[in-house]
């Protein structure tokens, strides 16, 4: 029997692999079993392909075959069938899956519950409530997870009972399910879980309480700040940052947070500082100023933001000093904070920030100045339409539009031209307004203009005309000596949906300009070309942290199995935003090899947000393994 099962599984596995590499056109019914058995494949790309293709199945006969396969005598095969039905995620006849909740194999019952949760058919609620009392705690936990997809009063009551009375069920799963439903009747039971003997359960309780944002959770979370497990302290501090603390009357809140900002764990200190700022309590200002002496950049940025939240005049000189900090993350927080504190000379520092070398800081300053809406700020923002970075100019145009400045159109203001190129820019604008492909021939001449602004504007308009015949011309501009022109060329190719964008952008993958590389990551994240992944992985090692951050976000979106190794390496990146994205990506890949590295991050990473993301990723992987 075992040999027969082995031969059958491997035979269909071979057939499935063959299917992946032959032309399409084969009937969906004929390949159902190959899809099902692909869940046994040791190569993750095969499993991923199967999951993706299963979601495309529309043939009712194919789905019927899946249903019939639930009667197969091999429990391992039935297990793969229920996994496959969960991946289809289309309305189907749920009765066979409901029947699978009574399967003699506990793994089949468990995955049948999870599949029913993903399908979200209300007819599954009652059977899942029954399964919540299954003799196997693993099955009961899966039923609890599935019930989290249903916002039904019966579900809430049953989950609360399971949380309070079932000592063998995975309580963290029940808490997260209640967190998905967000019914306030569950609040007391989740608060009680903060006293659970298992620290993981206490962590999840704190996480969910933050999402509830209910004032009744503030005092229990303050107590959790003193939990013996630093992970629980961190989740409690993070949960408090999500509360409307300025509107909550909690007698010991500020005192508890003042103690927490002295915690040896950096993540706890950061979250406590953010929460202190949100209280807007005058007692928070001096301790936050003292905390600024911490040399950790990531910490200083958060403390600066917290000081801005207090809106206390005592913090102004420290915020002004931070606008000259060598780290752009700190400068960004300082600019945002100054925008929240109304004092006489704030505008002067915001105007000074318009000359910051970091284009993102210039964007922040533009958006804050736009809220002031004086004639002077309008003129200043109009001047930023001449900024060398395209997305800064776009933000300036958008800000002027929001300020009800007339004649704003297409990201530019008609009549405001770049110095020395008035006639050229005016002509390019008029040609672009026609959206006529015949204008391309006339626009090509402007790409030879000595003025970089003219060349950049031409590429912008070529992208808007959206004619594929201009792709080759735009690719040539990737060699332009000016970075702003190369950046516009990248975005024009992106707008045109260049089918060979990965090959075309290969030449600038080592560009010396940060903005160009950032645009490259944006353009490549939508590409289906395998070469795009290779380029993005190269950018993931760039020396500039902002480029690595954008690259990590793009890599995560690809969900390509070849990104596994580089994402593991990215967990060690000095920039917390990159580590955060690496954890997300590993969670999406669901490769069990990531469990040990993610556990290391959860235990040792100094940043709470990274540890939180690693925890979520680990949970997704463990669920996949189970």
**487 and 455 inside one domain:** yes
Q: Is 458 contained in some domain?
A: yes
- What is the reported pLDDT for 167? 82
Start-end of H helices in 341-374: 346-353, 359-370
For residues 352 and 294, the model is more confident at 352
**374 and 430 inside one domain:** no
Q: Is 13 contained in some domain?
A: yes
- Give how many domains the chain has, as a whole number: 3
- What is the reported pLDDT for 498? 87
Per-residue pLDDT tens for 549-570?
888 888 888 888 889 999 999 9
Q: What does the mean pLDDT of the chain come to?
A: 81
Last residue of one domain, picked from the residues 25, 57, 92? 92
- Cα 610 from Cα 603, distance rounded (Å): 11
Q: Please count the other Cβ atoms lying within 10 Å of the Cβ belonging to residue 233.
A: 26
**399 and 462 inside one domain:** no
- Cα 293 from Cα 617, distance rounded (Å): 33
**595 and 460 inside one domain:** yes
Q: Please name the residue that has the structure tokens 């500082």.
A: 273
Nearest to 431 by CA among 451, 457, 401, 413: 457
Q: How confident is the model at residue 57 (pLDDT cuts 50, 70, 90)?
A: low
- Cα 272 from Cα 601, distance rounded (Å): 21
**521 and 399 inside one domain:** no
Largest CA distance in the chain: 84
- Cα 53 from Cα 26, distance rounded (Å): 13
Per-residue pLDDT tens for 14-44?
333 333 333 333 344 444 555 555 544 444 4
In 3-state terms, the chain is what percent helix, strand and coil (to 5)?
75, 0, 25
Read off the tokens for 25. Answer: 């056109």
Q: Is 475 contained in some domain?
A: yes
**436 and 582 inside one domain:** yes
- Cα 113 from Cα 106, distance rounded (Å): 11
- Cα 280 from Cα 283, distance rounded (Å): 9
- What is the reported pLDDT for 525? 81
Last residue of one domain, picked from the residues 92, 111, 132? 92
**What is the domain extent for residue 1?**
1-92
Residue 497 pLDDT exceeds 60: yes
Q: Is 240 contained in some domain?
A: no
**360 and 469 inside one domain:** no
**500 and 575 inside one domain:** yes
Q: How confident is the model at residue 86 (pLDDT cuts 50, 70, 90)?
A: confident
- Cα 23 from Cα 21, distance rounded (Å): 7
User: Where are any strands of DSSP class E within 358-447?
Assistant: 408-409, 412-413
- What is the reported pLDDT for 209? 94
Last residue of one domain, picked from the residues 38, 66, 92? 92
User: Residue by residue, what is the 3-state secondary structure of 526-537?
Assistant: CCCCHHHHHHHH
Residue 317 pLDDT exceeds 50: yes
pTM: 0.58
**591 and 468 inside one domain:** yes
Q: Please count the other Cβ atoms lying within 10 Å of the Cβ belonging to residue 4.
A: 9
- Cα 434 from Cα 247, distance rounded (Å): 54
Nearest to 572 by CA among 548, 539, 538: 548
């Amino acid at each position: 029997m075992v040999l027969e099962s082995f031969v059958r599984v491997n035979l269909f596995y071979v057939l499935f692999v063959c299917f992946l590499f032959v032309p399409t056109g084969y009937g969906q019914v004929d390949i159902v079993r190959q899809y099902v058995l692909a869940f046994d494949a040791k190569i993750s790309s095969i499993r991923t392909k199967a999951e993706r293709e299963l979601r495309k199945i529309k043939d009712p006969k194919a789905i019927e075959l899946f249903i019939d396969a639930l009667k197969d005598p091999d429990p391992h095969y039935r297990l793969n069938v229920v996994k496959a039905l969960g991946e289809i995620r289309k309305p189907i006849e749920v009765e066979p899956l409901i029947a699978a909740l009574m399967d003699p194999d506990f793994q089949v019952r468990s995955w049948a519950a999870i599949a029913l949760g993903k399908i979200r058919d209300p007819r599954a609620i009652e059977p899942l409530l029954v399964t919540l009392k299954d003799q196997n705690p693993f099955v009961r936990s899966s039923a609890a997870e599935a019930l989290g997809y249903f916002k039904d009063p019966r579900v809430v009551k049953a989950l609360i009972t399971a949380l309070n009375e079932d000592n063998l069920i995975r309580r963290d799963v029940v808490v997260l399910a209640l967190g998905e439903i967000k019914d306030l009747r569950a609040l007391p039971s989740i608060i009680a879980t903060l006293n659970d003997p298992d620290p993981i359960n206490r962590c999840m309780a704190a996480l969910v309480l933050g999402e509830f944002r209910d004032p009744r959770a503030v005092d229990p979370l303050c107590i959790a700040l003193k939990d013996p497990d630093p992970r629980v302290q961190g989740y409690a501090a993070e949960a408090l940052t999500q509360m409307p603390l300025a509107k909550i009357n909690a007698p010991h809140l500020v005192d508890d947070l003042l103690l927490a900002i002295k915690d040896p764990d950096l993540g706890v200190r950061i979250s406590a500082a953010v929460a202190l700022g949100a209280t807007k309590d005058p007692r928070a200002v001096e301790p936050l100023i003292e905390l600024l002496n911490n040399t950790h950049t990531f910490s200083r940025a958060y403390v600066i933001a917290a000081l801005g939240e207090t809106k206390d005049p005592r913090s102004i000189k420290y915020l002004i000093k931070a606008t000259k900090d060598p780290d752009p993350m700190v400068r960004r927080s300082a600019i945002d904070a100054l925008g929240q504190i109304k004092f006489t000379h704030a505008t002067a520092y915001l105007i000074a920030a318009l000359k910051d070398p970091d284009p993102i800081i210039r964007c922040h300053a533009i958006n804050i100045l736009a809220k002031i809406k004086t004639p002077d700020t309008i003129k200043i923002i109009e001047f930023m339409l001449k900024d060398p970075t395209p997305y800064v100019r776009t933000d300036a145009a958008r800000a002027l539009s929001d300020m009800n400045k007339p004649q704003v159109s297409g990201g530019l203001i008609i009549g405001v031209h770049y110095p020395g190129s008035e006639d050229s820019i005016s002509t390019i604008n008029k040609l672009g307004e026609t959206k006529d492909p015949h204008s391309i021939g006339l626009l090509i001449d402007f790409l030879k203009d000595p003025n970089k602004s003219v060349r950049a504007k031409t590429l912008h308009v070529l992208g808007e005309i959206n004619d594929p015949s201009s792709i080759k011309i735009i690719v040539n501009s990737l060699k332009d000596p000016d970075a702003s022109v190369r950046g516009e060329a990248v975005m024009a190719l992106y707008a045109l949906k260049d089918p060979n964008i990965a090959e075309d952008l290969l030449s600038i993958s080592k560009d010396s300009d940060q903005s160009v590389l950032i645009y490259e990551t944006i353009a490549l994240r939508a590409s289906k070309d395998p070469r795009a992944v290779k380029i993005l992985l190269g950018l993931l090692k760039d020396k500039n942290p902002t480029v690595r951050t954008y690259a990590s976000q793009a890599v995560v979106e690809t969900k390509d199995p070849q990104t596994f190794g580089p994402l593991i390496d990215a967990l060690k990146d000095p920039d917390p935003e990159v580590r955060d994205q690496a954890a997300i990506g590993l969670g999406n890949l669901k490769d069990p090899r990531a469990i040990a590295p993610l556990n290391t991050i959860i235990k040792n990473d100094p940043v709470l947000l990274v540890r939180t993301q690693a925890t979520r990723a680990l949970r997704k992987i463990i669920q996949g393994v189970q």
